[in-house]
Amino acid sequence: MRSAHATIVYAAPSHLKLLERVKGPPVTSVRLLLSSGSKWLEPSDSLSALFPCAEMSEFYGTSELSFVSVRRAADQAPKDSVGRPFPHVHLTIRDREGLRLPSGEVGRIYVESPFLFQDYVSDEQSLHRCGTEFSVGDLGWLDERGFLFLEGRENRMIVTSGKNVYPEQLEHSLMAHAGIAQAAVLGVEDDKRGSRLVACIMPRAGCSVSARDLIVHLKSSTSASLIPLTYLLPHQWRWTRSGKTDFAALADDVKRLAYEIIP
């Protein structure tokens, strides 16, 4: 970045966590840092020191929908939102029947914009259409000011004891813990509940956590009935090629008992 005099950095939160460890003089040429791929917590002091001249923003988008919304500091957006739609992007929240939902209600996020992809090569992937609007199955809601909040993706939803749980929310809360670098919440088959929630944890370097500590931490933001009681330390963390957590591979490791239980 220094030698190329880079002006814009685009990275996933997992990449930004690695950049936090970089030592040396600041990269003053960077004027914009964009994070996408998963919910980003607030920038750390070390990242701000590395890019002292950069505006740090988070955007939400997918391969199919391209850029959808952006959260910029100047907008004074709510902390948990992913900002407002980009110019020329129109969002609606709809139920499974395609009916539009009012502000504050959770449903599928539908996008109408000039940036949409054409179509899939095959019909294997799930895509929802409503006129000229597309949805990839992401769930969320809009507040009265037009800020978008993500709840999760339909295909990751876990049903436990008759309740719908979006693991992304729990993962976001767990990674707000000072000792946690990565978290993945999975559903394990359970005769009584249908699925039982378990959390895979990757502690930060030099940190150790207990199950009790994590349960207490979650109680401040999560209903007691939705807090995982089992916490696992996988033998290795699984990543996709793009630097995101590979949830399917972690789930396979859990089935193979390739983990240690955090007491």
Closest to 165 (Cα-Cα) out of 143, 180, 187: 187
pLDDT for position 162: 84
pLDDT for position 164: 85
User: Which residue type, as a one-letter code, is found at position 194?
Assistant: G
Q: What pLDDT digit, counting tens, does each position of 240-251 carry?
A: 887 789 999 999
- Integer CA distances (angstroms), 124 to 61, 120, 155, 160, 242, in order: 21, 8, 14, 27, 21
What is 157-261's CATH superfamily? ANL, C-terminal domain (3.30.300.30)
Q: Where are the domains of the chain?
A: 1-53, 58-155, 157-261
SS3 per residue for the chain: CCCCCCCEEEECHHHHHHHCCCCCCCCCCCCEEEECCCCCCCCCHHHHHHCCCCEEEEEEEECCCEEEEEECHHHCCCCCCCCEECCCCEEEEECCCCCECCCCCCEEEEEECCCCCCCCCCCCCCCEEECCEEECCEEEEECCCCCEEEEEEHHHCEEECCEEECHHHHHHHHHCCCCEEEEEEEEEEECCCEEEEEEEEEECCCCCCCHHHHHHHHHCCCCHHHCCCEEEEECCCCECCCCCECHHHHHHHHHCCCEEECC
User: Which residue type, as a one-letter code, is found at position 22?
Assistant: V
pLDDT for position 126: 73
Assess whether the region 58-155 and the region 157-261 belong to the same CATH fold: no
Residue numbers in the chain where pLDDT is lower than 50: none
pTM, two decimal places = 0.76
51 contact partners, CB below 8 Å, separation of at least 6: 9, 26, 27, 30, 33
Task: Please identify which residue in the block is written with the tokens 């859990």.
Answer: 254
Query: What architecture (CATH level 2) is domain 58-155?
Result: Roll (2.30)
